[in-house]
Amino acid sequence: MQTKPLIGVSADRTMIGAHPSHIAGEKYLVAVVDGAHALAVMLPALGYRQPAADIIATVDGLLFTGSYSNIEPHRYNGPPSAAGTLHDAARDATTLPLLRAAVDAAVPVLAICRGFQEMNVVFGGTLHQNVHTVQGRDDHRESKDDDLDTQYGPSHALHVVPGGLLARLASGAPTVHVNSLHAQGVERLGDGLTVEARAPDGLIEAVSVTHASTFALGVQWHPEWKFATDPLSRAIFRAFGDACHDRLRIRTGTGVADGSLVNS
């Protein structure tokens, strides 16, 4: 009998030599296995070749990862990207319909960085393609000259909205500190999303799906990075994993979901 939930982890399509390949960072997979106490399976960016409904019927949760690529701006009626901007049309064609299908089917979702932006776009929101060029916004990019520990180290405060899902995960703390490694950010919030936290410059950095019947959280930072050393990151993956365990019990008919965090 299956005892651990199966969590699908979104992959990027990239070229390795002359061959199209699909990759997902190990840090996401480790956080799923050790933080959510689940089985991780990488979902290739094959679009229509793997219908969202078939994936939804198989998994107990979905993690949408960060990426160096940006969502193609036509997906949210945005202006053309600057020359040289990295896009991943295959990922867009896979993750955007899959994310919405997961929410509609009550499959738990954790969306990180690009995944957070995908969540906003799926619900009709728009994106700033270069936050640092927007008047009143800070530069949220990392310095690629720094080592990884510096890049992923705490970068700015995060003001948590009282009474929300993230506030409960943060044990009611009004402010936490998070890393910051993104150029894009939310411009207009998608319909049906609730703001969970903002950066000091007012940029939305965490959202939840307002009427979701299970865990559905998007965060702009990277909680998967050395998650075990950060209380909020541990709490995020633990809550996500608990929701996926609930989904497994429902899917296999072995029990009733608790849903205590979502409905409390």
| 2 has a pLDDT exceeding 50 | yes
In a domain, 247, yes or no: yes
Catalytic machinery residues: 113, 222, 224
- Measured CA to CA in angstroms, residue 118 lies from 20, 27, 46 at distances of 22, 20, 17
- Measured CA to CA in angstroms, residue 107 lies from 9, 16, 46, 162, 182 at distances of 13, 32, 20, 25, 27
Q: pLDDT tier at 260 (50, 70, 90 boundaries)?
A: low
Residues 6+ apart with CB under 8 A from 191: 123, 124, 125
The number of helices, as runs of H, and strands, as runs of E, in the chain is 8, 13
In a domain, 214, yes or no: yes
Q: How far apart are CA 77 and CA 66, in angstroms?
A: 22
pLDDT of residue 183: 95
In a domain, 261, yes or no: no
pLDDT of residue 263: 43
pLDDT of residue 254: 85
Q: Are 114 and 121 in contact (CB under 8 A)?
A: no
How do residues 69-113 score in pLDDT, each as one tens digit?
999 999 999 999 999 999 999 999 999 999 999 999 999 999 999
pLDDT of residue 198: 98
How far does Cα 126 stand from its chain's mean position? 16
Q: pLDDT tier at 264 (50, 70, 90 boundaries)?
A: very low
Q: How far apart are CA 17 and CA 59, in angstroms?
A: 31
In a domain, 260, yes or no: no
In a domain, 264, yes or no: no
Handedness of CA 156, 35, 30, 32 (dihedral sign): negative
Find the mean pLDDT for residues 44-63.
97
Domain that holds residue 192: 6-252
CA atoms within a 13 Å half-sphere pointing along the CA-CB vector of 227:
23
Q: In total, how many domains does the chain have?
A: 1
Q: For residue 144, give the CATH number of its domain.
A: 3.40.50.880
| 261 has a pLDDT exceeding 80 | no
How do residues 153-196 score in pLDDT, each as one tens digit?
999 999 999 999 999 999 999 999 999 999 999 999 999 999 99
pLDDT of residue 141: 95
Residue 74 phi/psi, 5-degree rounding, is -65, -15
Residue 215 phi/psi, 5-degree rounding, is -60, 125
Q: Which of 257, 258, 251 is nearest to 2 (CA)?
A: 251
In a domain, 1, yes or no: no
Q: How far apart are CA 9 and CA 11, in angstroms?
A: 6
> Residue 23 is encoded by which pair of tokens?
């990759």
pLDDT of residue 66: 98
In a domain, 194, yes or no: yes
In a domain, 263, yes or no: no
Indicate the average pLDDT of the chain.
95
pLDDT of residue 202: 97
Higher local confidence (pLDDT), 164 or 258: 164
| 262 has a pLDDT exceeding 70 | no
